[in-house]
Structure 1
Amino acid sequence: MNPEDKYNHIFEHLDLSKVLHTLRKKSNRGRPEKLNVPAMIYSLLIAKMENIEFISSLVWRLLHSEEFRAQCRFTGSDNIPSEASYSRLIHALEQTGMLENLQDSLVLSALEEGFVSGTHLAVDSSIVEAWDCQFSEAAAKRRAARRPPKPSEASVAEPQLQFELPEPKPTVVNGPPKKPAYAKRGRPSHAERECRREEQEAYEQSLGPFQKTIEAMLPYTYDELLAALPRHAARCDKKNTKGRLTSYYGFKANLLVDTDSQYIVSGLWSSANPNDQRMAVVLLKGLLLKFPSLNVKHILGDKGYDSSAIYQLIHSLGAFPIIKMIHHKKPPEGMNQDYTPVCSQGHAYRYDSFDAKYETLRYTRPNQCKDCPFSESGCQKVFKIRIQTDLRKHAYPARGSESFTQLYNKRTAVERVFAYLKEYFGMKRTRHRGVRASVDFQLSTLAYNLSKFALDKLNKQLSNSQQVA
């Protein structure tokens, strides 16, 4: 398919009316608008699909290719926007959050069409390196102060985007307050103990949501967590595929992906230092707020999400967690590594069924116990375990069963989506600094979902035409 037809099918399902209503001028006074804002948004999405990394390269191609201008929906009378105009547009999209609304509406359309079931969701994160890793803010200010102004910047007036932005978001201090320390040794008096207790309580209350424990984050709402989310580039240490500790500087992309259709259901952009469990809390809290009709049955994750708070949050959403465990200690006597009952001879009981009413796992006697002399007197025939006794140890389907393994293997869908985003939709690294880097992430995920939705619509039309014929 040639590029013109391809982009016609893709942008057919992108409704920019709410975006234009938000970015429009609030009054008729002042300079008239001279830039084609929808075409600028189309060009940013096409830049992600064409792997155009720099805004300067995008502007150069618009200036020198009439065919590319037509693909981006620029008309012959439109002015070609400059890099500064694109910068203002990216700033406006970040402040208004309209790209996230476009993403949510597209997922709702995919749900109505039946392309997304939402039965099995996989959560994962991936590092996105920042371009400014070797430059500090202080060095950038010194270079800007030494750089002489260009004569063209003062003399040439260019068309500007004119729209009102919302109030700037308050900056969140990433560093935690100083913890009270006590140098005096020995047993404190009663008055000193009361003073220390009050200081400790004041310190814990001063901490932000992302500075507290995972369990303490659960009472916060989705909007409160989103307001406190750190979004600036930071350094973090992470083990690579070979098990070696590697240092990164940049951001972290967090996704919830439908494993059956590989649609991105929800995504978050954050600093690189918050761990995966904290970001999973924010994603899961916003899931039912955005898609209340979504019927989620299982949520899949790797060992990085093995936390009692995550299991509790998933179960409160009406779903069951499928997460690999990290064994911190040996299992109790009478159970194996998967917390399955074992007989006196060491054979594991067979997972038989699950009672949805009482949320109970049923295990039956293993096949090896048929000829065992202790089968009648020493071994129990059936074990029933309620998953509420420990959501982390007992899952549905039961750990170690074939059904659990098949469901967990579906988690690789989110890894494939990350590979597609980085290879074909320009998410290898970001050129922007601070919170504006989140626009790069939203453009990549929106371009990916738009491409999948357009392809599914074409396949559906083709299958319907074949059935009619």
Structure 2
Amino acid sequence: MTIIRQMSLFGVQELFEMEPTHRYDAVISALNLDKIYHAVSKKTHLGAPEELNYSAMIISVFIRIVERIPTIKDLVKRLNEDIVFKLNCAFLVSDPTPSEASYSRLITKLEESKILEVVQEQVIIQAITEGFIKDDTIAIDATHFEARDQAPPKVENLDKEPKKRGRKSKEEREEWLAEQAKKEANLPLFEKKIEAQLDASLSELRAQVPKEPKWGIKKNSEGKHVFWFGYKGHLAVSTTSQYIVQSLFSSGNLNDGKAAIPLLKGIQERLSLPALRYETMDAGYDFEPIYQQIYRMGHQSVIAYNKRNESNPEGFDKHFALTCFREHSYRYDSYDAKYETLKYTQPKECVDCSLANEGICQKVYKVKITTDLRRFTAPARGSKAWKTLFKRRTAVERVNAYLKEFFQLNNVRYRTGKRAKVHFDLVTLVYNASKLAANRINALLNQEDQAA
């Protein structure tokens, strides 16, 4: 009788249940600490000597996220009171415990060097190299978290000119349109329409993302508006392996759709994912430029359709499939990637229809997705294949929940957007490092099972 061994399953939650020493070693080993240390350490021997153990300080900053220690003050207190914890953070017994001010300077250096973004990319590339990211679908969504400070009082704009009632004359309208076009041209990149991002470079997009805390609004699961003052984290998550392959930090008032193209360009330009074919998002990302960007990447869009008071074209159903004379919808059959064409076959109800037998209703019709990238997607909207792919979008929602529950995403302790971004980068980096550590342990357990 053949014995089938159950494959070992080891996840992030099991990682957090390990002994502290083993848990820290597993997570920290996934990070390039030498690169971080080089970025924040002194570049010259001139000036006051550094007496602090900077490498241990860096490790303790990551372990603070792992251990869910709420503040730097609490971290310093634990280092002073718990000698075992201090040793686990790679401090020597003789090392002085860094002060809160020392940690503040370290955070400043991390922010100025942008080194956390570099190491984040290295972790993802390492996970791809080791074969842990083979996904064909990426899910994109945003999550909000509040700022440390209370929202400032709203100030009314008393200098705003009252609107002139009545219809504008032709000359006034032309003058107004020219003025609006001039204003649009002078706006910052993320205040322009989304299509302005298509021809912008990735570095330009990331440099101009607004980062200061602002008022944000979003509908909850009950359809009610929720307001908060703070930030947004925008994530592109591999739906099977659940790594954060790209992330973006922004002000809370940034429209979700305006973060999609920077994430997509980051995937296209910085990562090698040959199996990737689909990007799935909710209706908040239903903008024509996003479809265009995904098409330029050679991928397919699986994005929920937002009607925006639009009416369906005559002769088509709500999923933009052709309907027969009796308004039965044609059935999606297949997609021809070579010719970028969707193939539909006649409805089941039309098999015995006299109109079909007389040749009035066609049995097969085809449509190119380039006719309208937003409406004609591959696989076709409403099809079983499309619904299956769209369900994978829950992966990014799951990761958002992990970041808030286990990695302190909603525990921002800094007053400026630049420092809050460091917190966001630390959280996403520790999450990916934990995923990589768990995958490595899982792979080792599977090798032991197969060898037994």
Question: Do the two structures share a fold, i.e. TM-score over 0.5?
Answer: yes
Per-residue CA deviations over 1:341-400 (Å, capped at 9, x if unaligned) read: 122222211111110101100001122211212122221100101000001101111111
Instruction: Label 1:358 to 1:179 Cα distance change in 2 as closer, same or farther (>3 A).
Output: farther
Distance 2:122 2:61 in 1: 19
Instruction: Label 1:278 to 1:75 Cα distance change in 2 as closer, same or farther (>3 A).
Output: same
What is residue 96 of structure 2 aligned with on the other side? 79
Alignment of 1:176-255 (within 5 A): 187=169, 199-255=179-235
Q: Which region of structure 1 is more displaced relative to structure 2, 319-328 or 293-302?
A: 293-302
Per-residue CA deviations over 1:32-80 (Å, capped at 9, x if unaligned) read: 1111122112111111121111110111001100111011111112221
TM-score, with length taken from structure 1? 0.86
Distance 1:186 1:449 in 2: 56
Which of 7, 17, 20 is 2:37 aligned to?
20
Per-residue CA deviations over 1:374-431 (Å, capped at 9, x if unaligned) read: 1222211001010000011011111111111110000000000011110000112311
Instruction: Label 1:422 to 1:27 Cα distance change in 2 as closer, same or farther (>3 A).
Output: same
Shift of 1:205: 2.5
> Which secondary structure does the structure 2 equivalent of 1:374 belong to?
helix
What is residue 116 of structure 1 aligned with on the other side? 133
What is residue 351 of structure 1 aligned with on the other side? 332
What is residue 381 of structure 2 aligned with on the other side? 399
Shift of 1:202: 3.6
- Do the aligned partners of 1:180 and 1:203 also contact (CA within 8 Å) in 2? no
> Which secondary structure does the structure 1 equivalent of 2:56 belong to?
helix
Per-residue CA deviations over 1:322-359 (Å, capped at 9, x if unaligned) read: 01101232212221100011222222111111101011
Q: Which region of structure 1 is more displaced relative to structure 2, 436-445 or 1-10?
A: 1-10
What is residue 36 of structure 1 aligned with on the other side? 53
Per-residue CA deviations over 1:104-129 (Å, capped at 9, x if unaligned) read: 00000000111012420000001111
- Do the aligned partners of 1:264 and 1:445 also contact (CA within 8 Å) in 2? yes
> Which secondary structure does the structure 2 equivalent of 1:346 belong to?
coil
Residue type at the aligned position of 1:450: A
Shift of 1:181: 8.9
Instruction: Label 1:307 to 1:184 Cα distance change in 2 as closer, same or farther (>3 A).
Output: closer
What is residue 141 of structure 1 aligned with on the other side? none
Distance 2:385 2:176 in 1: 52
Which of 366, 389, 396 is 1:384 aligned to?
366
**Percentage of identical aligned residues:** 42
What is residue 374 of structure 1 aligned with on the other side? 355
What is residue 105 of structure 1 aligned with on the other side? 122
What is residue 428 of structure 1 aligned with on the other side? 410
Instruction: Label 1:300 to 1:179 Cα distance change in 2 as closer, same or farther (>3 A).
Output: farther
Distance 2:411 2:380 in 1: 40
> Which secondary structure does the structure 2 equivalent of 1:430 belong to?
coil
Shift of 1:200: 4.5
Distance 2:110 2:140 in 1: 26
Alignment of 1:337-348 (within 5 A): 337-348=318-329
Shift of 1:468: 2.3
Residue type at the aligned position of 1:347: H
Shift of 1:197: 6.7
Instruction: Label 1:59 to 1:135 Cα distance change in 2 as closer, same or farther (>3 A).
Output: farther
- Do the aligned partners of 2:234 and 2:247 also contact (CA within 8 Å) in 1? yes
> Which secondary structure does the structure 2 equivalent of 1:122 belong to?
strand
What is residue 304 of structure 1 aligned with on the other side? 284
Per-residue CA deviations over 1:254-308 (Å, capped at 9, x if unaligned) read: 0000001001101111100010010112111222222145542000000100111
Q: Which region of structure 1 is more displaced relative to structure 2, 221-230 or 270-279?
A: 221-230
What is residue 426 of structure 2 aligned with on the other side? 443
Distance 1:97 1:305 in 2: 28
Per-residue CA deviations over 1:149-208 (Å, capped at 9, x if unaligned) read: xxxxxxxxxxxxxxxxxxxxxxxxxx9xx999999986476xx88876765454232111
1:51 aligns with 2:51: no
> Which secondary structure does the structure 1 equivalent of 2:310 belong to?
coil
Q: Aligned pairs, how many? A: 427
1:94 aligns with 2:111: yes
Distance 2:382 2:112 in 1: 47
TM-score, with length taken from structure 2? 0.89
Alignment of 1:252-267 (within 5 A): 252-267=232-247
Residue type at the aligned position of 1:325: Y
Per-residue CA deviations over 1:213-256 (Å, capped at 9, x if unaligned) read: 11122221111122211101101222111111121101000000
What is residue 463 of structure 1 aligned with on the other side? 446
Which of 342, 351, 354 is 1:361 aligned to?
342
Name stretches of at least 5 consecutive residues in structure 1 with no aligned partner: 137-174
What is residue 15 of structure 2 aligned with on the other side? none
> Which secondary structure does the structure 1 equivalent of 2:445 belong to?
helix
Distance 1:53 1:361 in 2: 53
Distance 1:186 1:410 in 2: 49
The CA RMSD measured in Å over matched residues stands at 2.2
Name stretches of at least 5 consecutive residues in structure 2 with no aligned partner: 1-17
> Which secondary structure does the structure 1 equivalent of 2:354 belong to?
coil
What is residue 159 of structure 1 aligned with on the other side? none
Distance 1:185 1:329 in 2: 25
